[in-house]
């Protein structure tokens, strides 16, 4: 697996003439430069590509019209002016890197292009976002061993893991049409579920709505049908990473999942954050991919020296909850769990490689969810199913409220960031969703 080396864009001493990018708590320093699709709020403008810098967005459509950049970077900026980033994502790692370098140089202190680029900025508070790309296909993995063991033990205490779990990156095919951007309303789904004390199921509105703290892997240049992606080449096909919340109706899911896995309990909605952080931006936060003693060694097609050396990524993950009562009393959202992607049992490269090993073709904009990311401790659970032990022990909030599952009006806020103390914080922004009542029910 070939991973690019650190370059001048990663220099931790770099500063930007956009002063908010130099503040220590920003998610978007000049070393980050993530991509999104945006337009001016409440306008009829076309959505176009932008890059986050501090509390601003660099409008790549305007940048392209000025011809500030040259060669590959100018071509890439022009593609980013389109209504989705798919064409840019298809251009490959060398082009992505060329545009990143040009933007980095243009936004640095004492850049000769400051005056021109200053006219291409829009405050993030004045923007609204669309999905960054057309998602043709969505696959959700089950890649956290901690999550698999803890949820499995809730329902199968004697045999929490399936025999194949430690050998194969398990996944199911999700629903691409119901992927939405952050802040989209989350309507409680209806469906068929088991009725306590009855031999027959019933139909109704889900009462066990849950979130899942995941990362989304956004594919760039794809592969041809029938041609697998080798693990040494897997990350060349990955454009970047975003936050992902695969909302789940646990009562619907529990009844329908056997024998083929999740369906309506998951397909009603999946949220992603607006900003895609490129793999290049994450380079300083790579870690060795290590498993505990006694764990099976991955099969050859899922293993490489580079994957062992730096296949993992050190990304802090945080979930906060804001209840209607908190909001009424002007309280801030309360952090209810923390975890880290470095604990994931399978790496990004392994997920991509396994997905394509049968010849499946991945295309620009395709989305791979990592599955719920959980740490080894109970308080590191990436969903309420874990934190509340399937509702048996509701979690206690500081204002006296409790939650087994989400209630109407609850807002879930997810954040992710890299911060190893040696460089700037590389953040993912926020992923927000507020739960509301079902739109319709078959029984209405």
> Which one from 134, 147, 237, 355 is the annotated catalytic residue?
147
Q: Which two tokens stand for residue 267?
A: 């397909």
Those residues with Cβ within 8 angstroms of residue 346's Cβ, 6 or more apart along the chain or in another chain:
141, 143, 169, 354
Helix pair angle (93-107, 71-80), 10° resolution = 90
Q: In what helix (H) or strand (E) does residue 264 lie, and over which residues does it extend? A: helix 264-267
Helices assigned H by DSSP within 347-437: 348-356, 384-387
Quote the CA–CA distance of 226 and 353 in Å, as a whole number: 13
Paired with 245 in beta bridges are 213, 271
**Peptide bond preceding 259: is omega within 30 degrees of 0, i.e. cis?**
yes
What is the Cα–Cα distance from 242 to 274, expressed in whole angstroms?
Answer: 8
Q: Residue 367 half-sphere exposure, CB side, CA atoms within 13 Å?
A: 31
The reply to whether 147 belongs to the active site is: yes
DSSP symbols for 262-306: -SHHHHT-EEE-SPBEETTTTGGGEE-----TTPPPPPGGG--HH
How far apart CA 218 and CA 279 sit, in angstroms, is: 10
| Residues known to be catalytic | 147
């Amino acid at each position: 697996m070939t991973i690019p080396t650190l370059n001048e864009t990663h220099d931790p001493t770099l500063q930007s003439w956009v002063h908010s990018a130099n503040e220590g708590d920003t998610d978007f320093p000049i070393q980050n430069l993530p991509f999104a699709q945006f337009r001016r709020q409440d306008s009829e403008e076309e959505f176009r590509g932008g890059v986050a810098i501090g509390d601003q967005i660099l409008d790549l459509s305007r940048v392209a019209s000025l011809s500030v950049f040259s060669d590959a970077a100018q071509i890439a900026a022009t593609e980013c002016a389109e209504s989705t980033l798919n064409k840019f994502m298809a251009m490959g790692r060398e082009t992505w890197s060329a545009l990143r370098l040009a933007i980095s140089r243009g936004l640095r202190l004492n850049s000769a292009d400051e005056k021109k680029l200053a006219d291409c900025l829009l405050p993030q508070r004045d923007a609204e976002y669309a999905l960054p790309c057309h998602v043709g296909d969505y696959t959700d993995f089950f890649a956290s061993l901690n999550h698999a063991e803890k949820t499995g033990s809730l329902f199968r205490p004697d045999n929490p893991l399936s025999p194949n779990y430690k050998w194969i990156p398990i996944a199911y095919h999700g629903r691409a049409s119901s992927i939405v951007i952050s802040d989209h309303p989350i309507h409680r789904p209806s469906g068929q579920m088991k009725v306590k004390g009855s031999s027959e199921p019933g139909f109704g509105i889900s009462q066990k709505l849950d979130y899942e703290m995941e990362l989304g892997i956004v594919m760039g240049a794809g592969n041809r049908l029938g041609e697998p992606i080798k693990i040494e080449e897997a990350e060349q096909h990955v454009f970047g990473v975003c936050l992902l919340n695969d909302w789940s109706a646990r009562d619907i899911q529990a009844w329908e999942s056997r024998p083929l896995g999740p369906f309506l309990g998951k397909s009603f909605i999946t949220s992603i954050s607006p900003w895609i952080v490129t793999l290049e931006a994450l380079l300083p936060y790579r870690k060795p991919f290590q498993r505990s003693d006694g764990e099976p060694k991955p099969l050859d097609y899922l293993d490489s020296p580079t994957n062992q050396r730096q296949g993992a990524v050190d990304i802090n993950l945080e979930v906060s909850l804001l209840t209607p009562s908190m909001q009424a009393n002007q309280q801030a959202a309360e952090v209810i769990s923390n975890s880290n992607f470095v604990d994931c049992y399978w790496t990004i490269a392994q997920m991509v490689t396994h997905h394509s090993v049968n010849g499946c073709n991945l295309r620009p904009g395709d989305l791979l969810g990592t599955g719920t990311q959980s740490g080894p401790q109970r308080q590191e659970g990436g969903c309420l199913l874990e934190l509340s032990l399937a509702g048996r022990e509701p979690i206690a909030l500081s204002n006296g409220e409790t939650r087994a599952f989400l209630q109407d009006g609850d807002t879930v806020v997810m954040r992710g960031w890299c911060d190893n103390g040696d460089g700037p914080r590389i953040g993912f922004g926020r992923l927000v969703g507020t739960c509301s009542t079902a739109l319709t029910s078959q029984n209405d």
